[in-house]
Amino acid sequence: MAIHIYDIYRNPNVGIFSKASEGFLVLPIAYSAPKSEKLASLLGVGLVHGSVGGTRLLGPLMVMNSNGMLLSRFAEDQEVGAYRKTTGLRVERLDCPFTSVGNLIAANDKGGVVAPVFSSSEVRQIQDVLGVPVDRGTVAGYYQLGSVVAVTNLGALTHPRATEDEISWLKDALKVDCEVSSINGGVPFVASGVIANSRAAIVGTSTTGPELFILGKAFKV
């Protein structure tokens, strides 16, 4: 297990352009094949190239675990079909008014946390597709839980201003330990700068030494 430092499109916000699980790394269609293969190898997963709504901003527009994948309502039919074919997962558009589903949901293979803006029917769809129980809540005053929480099956990292009660809630909901930190030299929206699973973590080049230390502690890498 290790932490790797890398930029995508010369940008340290690696979590904006990608999404990883225990089985797959999803990267934009046009991203360099050798670089894509290297990143997938570092995480020990299969490689999938794709888009959502024709864009390369995959992190904010999807959420994925080992059971399923939820996409923004902007996702086109061929994109949904392509992800089903390449991953073998249950893949659906989240039937809701909100587009940036990846910013509103954080999940691993044990549980999930979601924004309180979701209705009961939307929460049921999230649970059905991802195959885990989920709980509504906020962290540090933000309902964008997919932005302020980065989680794997081994641990979680969250906003540096998360309260003790919020950290306890995240531990219970995600069933892993949770640490607080920023990423990329002070950015509190930690998911924007991290790609991780239980094998490794990849972070942007702006991430500082103290941030790397806490990230390693959080993800046990």
Q: What is the mean pLDDT of the chain?
A: 97
Structure tokens at 85: 């074919």
Of 100, 112, 106, nearest to 190 (Cα)? 106
pTM of the predicted protein model: 0.96
Per-residue pLDDT of 47-62, as tens digits, reads 999 999 999 999 999 9
The dihedral built from the CA positions of residue 168, 215, 146 and 38, taken in this order, carries a sign that is negative
The pLDDT score that the predictor gives to residue 191 is: 98
- Residues 1/220, Cβ–Cβ less than 8 Å: yes
Q: Is residue 67's pLDDT more than 90?
A: yes
Domain 2-219 class in CATH: alpha beta
The pLDDT score that the predictor gives to residue 221 is: 83
Query: What average pLDDT does this structure show over 142-152?
Result: 98
Residue-range domain boundaries for the chain: 2-219
The pLDDT score that the predictor gives to residue 1 is: 66
- Residues 149/190, Cβ–Cβ less than 8 Å: yes
Structure tokens at 106: 């954080």
The pLDDT score that the predictor gives to residue 87 is: 97
Q: 75: pLDDT confidence band, cut at 50, 70 and 90?
A: very high
Query: What average pLDDT does this structure show over 146-150?
Result: 98
- Residues 135/166, Cβ–Cβ less than 8 Å: no
Place of tokens 């932490």: 3
Q: Can you tell me the distance from the alpha carbon of 154 to that of 3, in angstroms, rounded to the nearest whole number?
A: 14
Per-residue pLDDT of 194-219, as tens digits, reads 999 999 999 999 999 999 999 999 99
The dihedral built from the CA positions of residue 210, 214, 220 and 221, taken in this order, carries a sign that is negative
- Residues 69/62, Cβ–Cβ less than 8 Å: yes
The pLDDT score that the predictor gives to residue 43 is: 98
